[in-house]
Amino acid sequence: MFRIVNKKKLNDTVTMMDILAPLVAKKAEAGQFIILRVDEEGERIPLTVAGYDRTAGTVQIIFQIVGGTTMLLDKKEAGEFIEDFVGPLGVPTKTEGRKKVCVVGGGVGCAIALPVAQKLHEAGCKVHSVIGFRNKDLVLLEEEFKACSDKFTLVTDDGSYGRQGVVTLPLKEEIERGERFDEIIAIGPLVMMKYVVATAKPYGIPVTVSMNPIMIDGTGMCGGCRLTLVKEDGTRSVKFACVDGPDFNGYEVDFDEAMLRGGAYETFEAGERERVCNLFAKESR
């Protein structure tokens, strides 16, 4: 059993918890994930490590309430216990040797992007963060991103907070202004990552994307996180986000196929996917 030592609501649908799990905390790195079960009868769900405190032995998770298990988890309070908490799993995000990186986060994907930005910052890398949300009510982790960023931009689709627009807008402006990023690391909805890649491509900037949004059970068995990689020479290969990732070279990911297959697992309400796709397409013209 694993004790919840801290719980905080970040907005109406997103909750943060610190879980006492010293062995996981000892080894966890940015980009990795854990699998938990709320109770003995519960399903396993993968959640990305949003932070860790090796001294306190805690691992931070941030989750969106999107179904039965996350609803059940959200009912737990600090001091209560969850049944299983296994990890760290997956390959950590590569941060070594980077001098200047743009970290792009969208929605609850910012919870995964934050520890990456923090790790880069701690290693002395210059970090530009661009984070985007649908509206003001959904904004997460603003102060935390500011604290680890040399430059910080927040956008909302409707302009209710920060700058109006999608993340690719300031990203493109920064690149066109002459910012020389060693890499762009993008974590958020598939459509956002697809357009971040499209924005960076004319400038040849490497893009790493996290395919975390298509993971279901995180065990390599359900097949839900299968994705196709297409190399420059057209060679295709099949990978699994939970086994081979979650990070991949953004230029190789077949996002269109992933969106068709992953549509059921992303947390868009009816009609929302189309609206977001149109927004990004418009900004990228």
Contact string 19-58 vs ligand FES (x = CB under 6 A): ----------------------------------------
Minimum CB separation from ligand FES for residue 274, in Å?
Answer: 25
Rg of the chain over all Cα atoms, to the nearest angstrom: 18
Those residues whose C-beta lies under 8 Å from the C-beta of residue 281, and which sit 6 or more positions away, are 195
Cα–Cα distance measured from residue 185 to residue 187, given in angstroms and rounded to the nearest whole number: 7
Tokens of residue 106, six digits? 């969208």
Tell whether residue 240 is a contact of ligand FES (CB under 6 A).
yes
Interface with ligand FES (CB under 6 A), residue from 84, 217, 254, 283: 217
What part of residues 58-117 is at the interface with ligand FES (CB under 6 A)?
none
Minimum CB separation from ligand FES for residue 45, in Å?
Answer: 10
In the chain, the DSSP E strands lie at: 2-11, 14-20, 33-37, 45-53, 58-64, 81-82, 84-89, 100-106, 126-133, 151-156, 163-164, 183-187, 207-210, 226-230, 236-240, 247-249
Closer CB to ligand FES, residue 34 or residue 242?
Answer: 242
Residue with tokens 């927004």: 279
Tell whether residue 221 is a contact of ligand FES (CB under 6 A).
yes
Segment lying near ligand FES (by CB under 6 A), choices 74-82, 175-183, 220-228, 272-280: 220-228
Residues that bind ligand FES (CB under 6 A): 215-225, 240-242
